[in-house]
Chain A
Amino acid sequence: MDLNLILPFLSTAVMVVFTVSVLNRWRARRKQHFLFWGIGLGMFTLGSFAESYFAIVGWSAFIFFLWYFFGAVLNAAYIGHGTLLLLFRKRWTRIVTVVLVIASLIALVLMLQVMPRLDPTIFNAAAPISVQYQEIMPAINDGATVRLTTPFFNIYGLITLVGGALWSAWLFLRKRALPNRVLGNVLIAAGALSIGLASTATRLGAGGYLYLGELIAAVLMYAGFILAGRPVTEDESAPETASVAA
């Protein structure tokens, strides 16, 4: 059984269900944070799908575009931006939204510029794309400026998604209420850190852990989303329920 095929396939399956769940909530409630979460999760799904495609079918420049642009560059920022919109309902978040969209368009132009310069002869279907992408793409100082954009988007996603989930968990913990929200946010943060660690390892040359990190992230974040979104019972809303040690 080839893990390069199984892991991204499982990630894709989990993420499809997760994305549909979130977009259904957006359709029902029309809240912006659900929309951005859905967009970001959809990007994550495309990235996982691309990894499966590489393992099953082989090289495709378009699929590489999907993998890198949505999977590596944008998805963390969009998921994190949804968390920002959930936690802060102020006018300045609209400015951040505009900046994010403009930055995404700039990254798109840079990505399209590098596409003709990819070297598909390097591609090996038996190896994860995360291990070989740095050789397939030209170097940063050789035209692949889009690679400089990933730290910006990923740092933003890390702060908003992980920081936001941890902060939410802390707030509910202090209020001694809604224990499911506490656990749910802890799981979401753990999932986001999983993909953050795997992405960082990939960037530093250890790309063999990305697929596993993605699957762990998908499962933990979805579990956290379900747990945090469970209807509140009368017992759980009482402050005494989530009692802390004396």
Chain B
Amino acid sequence: MTSPEERTRAPLLDRLKLRKPVGSRISEESYLYGRVIPALILFMGFVMVVLIVLALGVLVGVVR
């Protein structure tokens, strides 16, 4: 666990826990399924919502 001060100073990728920690004993496979894929799923879910909102905007004429 990092302290709030360490977290604010750490690079973005480290704070988001997407970069594999140096010296970590977590296996590559675990890191993929534990960090990368969940982040991808969340990101794609967000993109899906944006597309739905855009499509609704086209439907009601707000977006041309």
Tell whether, in the assembled complex, residue B26 and residue A158 are in contact, meaning their CB atoms are under 8 Å apart.
no
Interface residues on B, range: 20 to 34
Which residues of B sit under 8 angstroms from A170, Cβ to Cβ? 41
Which residues of B sit under 8 angstroms from A227, Cβ to Cβ? none
B interface, over-half SS = helix
A window 173-192: CB within 8 A of B: 173, 176, 179, 182-183, 186, 189-190
**At the interface, yes or no: A228 with Cβ under 8 Å from chain B?**
no
Query: What is the CB-to-nearest-CB distance from A21 to chain B, in angstroms, rounded to a whole number?
Result: 24
**At the interface, yes or no: B56 with Cβ under 8 Å from chain A?**
yes
Partner of B47, one of A148, A152, A193: A193
Partner of A159, one of B52, B59, B63: B52
Tell whether, in the assembled complex, residue A151 and residue B48 are in contact, meaning their CB atoms are under 8 Å apart.
no
**At the interface, yes or no: A162 with Cβ under 8 Å from chain B?**
yes
**At the interface, yes or no: B10 with Cβ under 8 Å from chain A?**
no
**At the interface, yes or no: B11 with Cβ under 8 Å from chain A?**
no
Tell whether, in the assembled complex, residue A242 and residue B33 are in contact, meaning their CB atoms are under 8 Å apart.
yes
Partner of B55, one of A154, A169, A190: A154
Interface centre among A155, A169, A197, A246 (most CB of B within 10 A): A155
Tell whether, in the assembled complex, residue B63 and residue A204 are in contact, meaning their CB atoms are under 8 Å apart.
yes
Q: How far is the CA of A162 from the CA of B58 in the complex (A)?
A: 20
Q: How far is the CA of A179 from the CA of B37 in the complex (A)?
A: 11
Which residues of A sit under 8 angstroms from B38, Cβ to Cβ? 173
Q: How far is the CA of A196 from the CA of B30 in the complex (A)?
A: 30
Which residues of A sit under 8 angstroms from B44, Cβ to Cβ? 162, 166, 186, 189-190, 193
Tell whether, in the assembled complex, residue B56 and residue A151 are in contact, meaning their CB atoms are under 8 Å apart.
yes
A window 116-153: CB within 8 A of B: 148, 151-152
**At the interface, yes or no: A244 with Cβ under 8 Å from chain B?**
yes
Partner of B54, one of A148, A159, A182, A200: A200
With A169-B37, A170-B41, A182-B37 given, is the CB distance from A245 to B31 under 8 Å? yes
With A203-B58, A246-B26 given, is the CB distance from A158 to B51 under 8 Å? yes
Tell whether, in the assembled complex, residue B34 and residue A169 are in contact, meaning their CB atoms are under 8 Å apart.
no
Q: How far is the CA of A196 from the CA of B47 in the complex (A)?
A: 10
Query: What is the CB-to-nearest-CB distance from B11 to chain A, in angstroms, rounded to a whole number?
Result: 18
**At the interface, yes or no: B6 with Cβ under 8 Å from chain A?**
no
Query: What is the CB-to-nearest-CB distance from A54 to chain B, in angstroms, rounded to a whole number?
Result: 24
Query: What is the CB-to-nearest-CB distance from B38 to chain A, in angstroms, rounded to a whole number?
Result: 7
Query: What is the CB-to-nearest-CB distance from A7 to chain B, in angstroms, rounded to a whole number?
Result: 22
With A151-B59, A186-B41, A203-B58 given, is the CB distance from A162 to B33 under 8 Å? no
Tell whether, in the assembled complex, residue B51 and residue A169 are in contact, meaning their CB atoms are under 8 Å apart.
no
Tell whether, in the assembled complex, residue B37 and residue A151 are in contact, meaning their CB atoms are under 8 Å apart.
no
Tell whether, in the assembled complex, residue A151 and residue B55 are in contact, meaning their CB atoms are under 8 Å apart.
yes
With A151-B56, A243-B29, A245-B31 given, is the CB distance from A200 to B37 under 8 Å? no
Using a CB–CB cutoff of 8 Å, the interface residues on chain B facing chain A are: 26-27, 29-31, 33-35, 37-38, 40-41, 44-45, 47-48, 51-52, 54-56, 58-59, 63-64
